[in-house]
Chains A and B, each alone.
Chain A
Amino acid sequence: MNRPLPEWLQENVTINLPAPKQCVRRFDYLEKTLQGIYKILAQDAHGNSTAGKRALLQQIEPHAKLIAALILLLAAAWTKKIEFLAAVNLLLLGLAAQAGLGVKSFMTRVWLPAFFFSGLAVLPGIISWVTPGESLYTIYSGVHLQLGWLTFPVVLDITKQGVQSALLVILRSASSLGLATLVLKTTRWSVITKVLAKFGLPAAVVAVLDLTYRYIYLFLLLFLEYIMGRRSRLAGREAQGEKLSWIGGTIADFLRITREYGEDIHYAMQSRGFTGEYHGQMKLKIGLCDIGFLIAAAIICCFA
């Protein structure tokens, strides 16, 4: 049976809703913390998926990989050549693509913070006021500016020395971050700590590192639940004092929980015979490919 629509449904009423405001959205402290946790968890999931791939870096013996990364890191820190640092960064990008990390993902993780954040930090350093030197571009000249006690220079240039210095800092920062990312994304954390133990890091420190890394993720999930719980109970605006007291209470809760976990893990490990010794030693299996990789890294460092 076809019934006609009631009158109130047939009415064609136009409601003038206010136009959405064009503004940059500001996330509150809970959302920002949530984003931080999601980012860490996503990075971990990505790292786990890439470490298992069969590409060049994943095939290199971890000891050789760590030594090569360290000498490249030192070469990048010591060099005064911008071309060398640029070449190292391009090489790292190529290796990241070959290792299956994804060019976009690598650039977002490494180049964005290095070029954007470090870039912003060193940007004022390119002007003659901070770094005097050979002029590349004159911003203004013959202007006498004074703001209170602050007297601006009569001529303000962008200097060659300033630009070189900024590029050195940015490229060094990018190469260090790139090397750390490549090592971490192509090697499992448990393998890295075993290599560190082989290099002489005390057993107790390695055990603490392993346990910390493992439990950080467990506590991140717990933290996520805390924040979700808080958000689900929030309606309306929260006073500054309430926000801070929630943070203080959560910190106190986490102190209690981490202590309880620490005690439980301690007794569990003790009941299994743990005495503070670390038994995760890893055998060194260096092949021709690994030696070639180390030699290649050493040759690159010769150009620094």
Chain B
Amino acid sequence: MHIPDGYLSPSTCAVLGAVMAPVWYRASYKLKYTLDAARVPLLAMGAVFSFLIMLFNVPIPDGTTAHAVGASLLAIVLGPWAAVIALSVALFIQALVFGDGGILAFGANTFNMAFIAPFAGYYTYALLGKGAKPGAKRQLTAAFAAGYISINIAALAAALEFGCQPLLFTAADGTPLYCPYGFSVTIPAMMLAHLTVAGLVEGFITLIALKCIIHAEIPLGLEKTDKEEIQDV
């Protein structure tokens, strides 16, 4: 899911970075008012938590392993805006320090994994699990669906970003300048892997981790709800 540099044109990266700018602004604005401004350690720990989730090798039945992104889990346990910041910071450090994902492609990677994935996961969970009792089957099913849907929507976004490259950026002699595959290749290639394996891994990890979090009675959400804000005022 981490897009390296070279696959997307600088203009695609710039557009997606520009799309992310208001998202980061909104996330920091939201957190400034719902979270104490000086509470940066909590956000840093959120980023550390996100980094650790991505480090896990999750076993899959054929004997190999896969990685989870943990975007929907983070959105459920920290809140979607805190998840945007935590995932963006984790992706920045991964790109710069560990070479996972490109530096110019940072905007694209954050758009897919730190914006689309946590919001898709959060709203799926909110919609399906609304009013469910903590630990109830419906809540856990909603968590699974959140993980499954979020990673697949993010994969589809990445496939569309890859697929538009040969349509938009080709030399006069027909040489594709960036990713050479069109939509007919990128969409099936990305979606097949995510619909059958990565989505299930993400869904199960979200479900099991949330079940353990509920069992351990760890409070959910870094962000305060509007009701709590009013009470504070």
Query: Do B44 and A28 touch across chains, with their CB atoms under 8 A apart?
Result: no
Classify chain A: how many residues form its interface, as a range: 35 or more
A40 in the interface (beta carbon within 8 A): yes
Identify A252's interface contact among B42, B85, B181, B215, CB under 8 A: B215
Query: Do A215 and B45 touch across chains, with their CB atoms under 8 A apart?
Result: yes
0/1 string, A243-255, CB within 8 A of B gives 1: 1110111111111
Q: Cα distance A96–B178 when bound, in Å?
A: 27
Q: Cα distance A260–B49 when bound, in Å?
A: 12
Q: Cα distance A181–B103 when bound, in Å?
A: 11
Identify A219's interface contact among B48, B70, B179, CB under 8 A: B48
B89 in the interface (beta carbon within 8 A): yes
0/1 string, B96-108, CB within 8 A of A gives 1: 1111001110000
Query: Which of B13, B175, B178 neighbours the largest number of chain A CB atoms within 10 Å of its CB?
Result: B175
Q: Which residues of A contact B212 (CB under 8 A)?
A: 245, 248-249, 251-252
Quick one: given A73-B104, A169-B178, A177-B99, are A252 and B4 in contact (CB under 8 Å)? Answer: no
Q: Nearest chain A CB to B55's CB is how many angstroms away?
A: 6
0/1 string, A199-231, CB within 8 A of B gives 1: 000101101110111011001100100000000
Kindly identify, within residues 178 to 207 of chain B, every residue whose CB is under 8 Å from any CB belonging to chain A: 178-181, 185, 204-205, 207
**B contacts with A, residue count (CB < 8 A):** 71
A280 in the interface (beta carbon within 8 A): no
Q: Is the interface of A mostly helix, strand, loop or mixed?
A: helix
Quick one: given A80-B171, A208-B43, are A131 and B176 in contact (CB under 8 Å)? Answer: yes
Query: Do A29 and B58 touch across chains, with their CB atoms under 8 A apart?
Result: yes
Query: Do B208 and A248 touch across chains, with their CB atoms under 8 A apart?
Result: yes
Quick one: given A125-B180, A165-B176, are A180 and B57 in contact (CB under 8 Å)? Answer: no
Kindly identify, within residues 80 to 116 of chain A, every residue whose CB is under 8 Å from any CB belonging to chain B: 80, 109-110, 113-114
Quick one: given A251-B56, A266-B42, A274-B38, are A176 and B65 in contact (CB under 8 Å)? Answer: no
Q: Which residues of A contact B10 (CB under 8 A)?
A: 74, 77-78
Query: Do A173 and B5 touch across chains, with their CB atoms under 8 A apart?
Result: yes
Q: Nearest chain B CB to A222's CB is how many angstroms away?
A: 9
Quick one: given A215-B45, A261-B45, are A275 and B38 in contact (CB under 8 Å)? Answer: yes
6 residue pairs, one from A and one from B, having the closest CB atoms: A248-B208, A172-B6, A176-B5, A211-B44, A125-B180, A252-B212
6 new A-B contacts, CB < 8 A, other than A131-B175, A204-B40, are A36-B57, A73-B103, A133-B175, A212-B51, A247-B209, A252-B216
19 pairs, A vs B, C-beta closer than 8 Å: A77-B13, A125-B181, A161-B171, A165-B176, A169-B179, A176-B5, A176-B6, A180-B95, A180-B103, A181-B99, A192-B96, A219-B52, A251-B53, A251-B212, A252-B218, A258-B46, A258-B49, A262-B45, A274-B38
